[in-house]
A and B are shown apart, each in its own frame.
Chain A
Amino acid sequence: MNENLQSVLYLVAAVAFIVGLKRLTSPATARNGNRLAAIGMLVATVTTLLGREIVSYTGILVGIVIGSAVGAIAARRIEMTDMPQLVAAFNGFGGGASAFVAATEFIRHPGAIDTRITIVLSVLIGSITMTGSFVAFAKLQGLVSGNPISFKGQKWFDGVLAMAIATLGVLLVISPTSLEFWILTLLSLVIGVTRILPIGGADMPVVIAFLNAASGLAAAAAGFVIGSTVLIISGALVGASGLILTSIMVKAMNRTLIGVLAGGFGGTSGPQEEIGQLPVKRATADDVAITLAYARSVIVVPGYGLAVAQAQHVMKDLAAALQEKNVEVRFAIHPVAGRMPGHMNVLLAEADVPYDQLYDLETINRDFSRTDVALVVGANDVVNPAARTDANSPIYGMPILDVDAATTCVVIKRSLSPGFAGIDNPLFYLEGTLMMFDDARKALSDLVTAVKNV
């Protein structure tokens, strides 16, 4: 294929990605946007296959067939609750591909000094993204503990590792040798593991978003290596997207990116004080059903506990039963309600909750004071008023949903045990709070029956 034509087609692909992402700004056009981006990818792939540089097709076709089969099966089989793991794994594959491309280029010809700089960056970012994502995957999948894992002297170990990588990087740019290259690759793979292991499960939304950005930067770096504009553009787009999501997650958790990456926060084994000494108001399904059925407006606050109990569908049934009785039902979604940005919205969409009933924190927070009932299901830290009032609380300053402003707040929870951050929740002991101690799915299905009987 003519090189000018090739350049034009790559440009078409890049524009398709940009317009596709733009259509992702509204749920009405998003599906179409994703398909447009996929067509862009097809154009880019076919253009490359027809290029003059390609002399041997066997390996490529084998790779595409295997990759398509694995990707399609994973995409079809995955449960929506497991979406964070899948995205983590895909991030890892993207990063890995960039690292392998850089390695192939190095073997063939280390090139001039600027090429060597880009090869070093590409192999570094790609390798760290790959092993870091695989560790994130293993944590989310429960293959390794979600608690921070570290060893004595870990910070020193990582520091030495980072310095070794920097030194090797500089040496490789000055005078490349194979040995240096493979040691650099190995150390990059290792540091990806040792840097993500100490990060607790609660911080995973930040980590996935960050690795998403890294996978984009890895693609851009590979673009620098082979001098391909379409890779640089696409990689920059994804890098920007990942960084924005990282910053949203970090703000929603009142953390800093450095603090998250330093690790050691958010295990379930934190110090657990004696709690539950204060009196709480217990309520039965019938009590709560009456409160809900006679309310004018209800705001549901779903947390990850809802997803763990697989209670999205019965939640939707309860919302429908209330709407039958002319109760206005809305859902308030905290940015970290799930295990990745927007996860809870997908879980509710899967349960056929229309997206226009879902509201984000800023939009809905002022409405709680005009709401009869706030129904908290499987959420804890994101509704903890201590974040507003108690300067000594570890979550002080974190934006929360102001459910305590509603006339009545109903909390469905297994017990008074603390959430991820390991802290007690004053909400449970407030005058206007009713506690319903039960598994989310059972409690909600009891409520559906009870509401229908009111």
Chain B
Amino acid sequence: MLMVSITVFILAAFVGFEIITKVPPTLHTPLMSGSNAISGITIVAAIIVSGRAEGGLATVLGVVAVILATINVVGGFLVTDRMLEMFKRDPR
């Protein structure tokens, strides 16, 4: 299982390198905030660990993880959208 996960990780990293090298400098800030929002995928792990109803410290920590990951996801995608909305082509 661990080997499979490592394989997936390395292949995905190569895909990332290939795509992101092509992002023009003009879009580097939205790229950063957008990819940052994608790293909020930890929300999936946070939901799983806090939904197990263990109670006690584990649940508290799980809920904190959900809060942090949700801020990351919601804030990241919204602010990226707000930035990209401003990028306009020369009308002339």
Judge if A239 is at the interface, Cβ distance under 8 Å.
yes
The smallest beta-carbon distance between B72 and chain A, in angstroms, is: 5
Partner of A48, one of B17, B29, B40, B48: B48
Contact of A104 with B27 in the complex, beta carbons under 8 Å? no
User: Counting chain A CB atoms within 10 Å of each CB, which of B27, B39, B42 scores highest?
Assistant: B39
Contact of A349 with B34 in the complex, beta carbons under 8 Å? no
The smallest beta-carbon distance between B70 and chain A, in angstroms, is: 2
Cα separation A235 to B9 with both chains bound (whole Å): 8
Contact of A67 with B20 in the complex, beta carbons under 8 Å? no
Interface residues of B in 20-53 (CB under 8 A from A): 20-53
From A343, which residue of chain B is reached at the shortest CB distance?
A: B29
Q: A218-B42, A233-B8, A342-B32 are in contact. Are A74 and B63 (CB under 8 A)?
A: no
Judge if A12 is at the interface, Cβ distance under 8 Å.
no
Contact of B5 with A55 in the complex, beta carbons under 8 Å? no
Cα separation A107 to B89 with both chains bound (whole Å): 53
User: Counting chain A CB atoms within 10 Å of each CB, which of B8, B43, B81 scores highest?
Assistant: B43
Judge if A148 is at the interface, Cβ distance under 8 Å.
no
Contact of A97 with B51 in the complex, beta carbons under 8 Å? no
- Complex contacts, B34 vs chain A, CB 8 Å: 20-21, 24, 33-34, 37
Q: A108-B52, A209-B32, A340-B29 are in contact. Are A75 and B78 (CB under 8 A)?
A: yes
- Complex contacts, A55 vs chain B, CB 8 Å: 51-53
Contact of A27 with B87 in the complex, beta carbons under 8 Å? yes
Q: Interface readout for B46-73 with A: 1 if CB under 8 Å, 0 if not? A: 1111111110011101111111111111
Q: A226-B49, A354-B91 are in contact. Are A63 and B25 (CB under 8 A)?
A: no
Q: Number of A residues whose C-beta is below 8 Å from B? A: 114
Cα separation A436 to B43 with both chains bound (whole Å): 52
The smallest beta-carbon distance between A116 and chain B, in angstroms, is: 12
Partner of A100, one of B46, B51, B82: B46
From B28, which residue of chain A is reached at the shortest CB distance?
A: A342
Cα separation A240 to B64 with both chains bound (whole Å): 27
Closest 3 pairs (CB-CB, A-B) = A67-B70, A240-B16, A342-B28
Contact of B63 with A350 in the complex, beta carbons under 8 Å? no
Judge if A56 is at the interface, Cβ distance under 8 Å.
yes
Cα separation A48 to B5 with both chains bound (whole Å): 19
- Complex contacts, A228 vs chain B, CB 8 Å: 44-45, 48
Cα separation A391 to B4 with both chains bound (whole Å): 50
Cα separation A349 to B90 with both chains bound (whole Å): 11
Cα separation A55 to B49 with both chains bound (whole Å): 11
Contact of B65 with A101 in the complex, beta carbons under 8 Å? yes
| 26 cross-chain CB contacts under 8 A | A18-B19, A21-B20, A27-B27, A30-B87, A33-B34, A35-B81, A53-B48, A54-B51, A60-B50, A63-B64, A67-B70, A70-B75, A93-B68, A93-B69, A94-B36, A94-B72, A97-B69, A104-B61, A223-B41, A226-B49, A240-B15, A245-B28, A335-B25, A354-B88, A354-B91, A357-B90
The smallest beta-carbon distance between A1 and chain B, in angstroms, is: 13
From A62, which residue of chain B is reached at the shortest CB distance?
A: B63
- Complex contacts, A90 vs chain B, CB 8 Å: 33, 36-37, 40, 71-72, 75-76
Contact of A74 with B35 in the complex, beta carbons under 8 Å? no
Contact of A71 with B65 in the complex, beta carbons under 8 Å? no
Judge if A147 is at the interface, Cβ distance under 8 Å.
no
Cα separation A96 to B69 with both chains bound (whole Å): 8
Judge if A231 is at the interface, Cβ distance under 8 Å.
yes
- Segment at the B interface, from A79-87, A186-194, A281-289, A295-303: A79-87
Judge if A414 is at the interface, Cβ distance under 8 Å.
no
- Complex contacts, A13 vs chain B, CB 8 Å: 41
Contact of B16 with A241 in the complex, beta carbons under 8 Å? yes
Contact of B35 with A231 in the complex, beta carbons under 8 Å? no
Contact of A241 with B53 in the complex, beta carbons under 8 Å? no
Contact of A21 with B19 in the complex, beta carbons under 8 Å? yes
Contact of A45 with B38 in the complex, beta carbons under 8 Å? no
Cα separation A242 to B36 with both chains bound (whole Å): 9
The smallest beta-carbon distance between A375 and chain B, in angstroms, is: 19
Q: Interface readout for A2-19 with B: 1 if CB under 8 Å, 0 if not? A: 000000001001000110
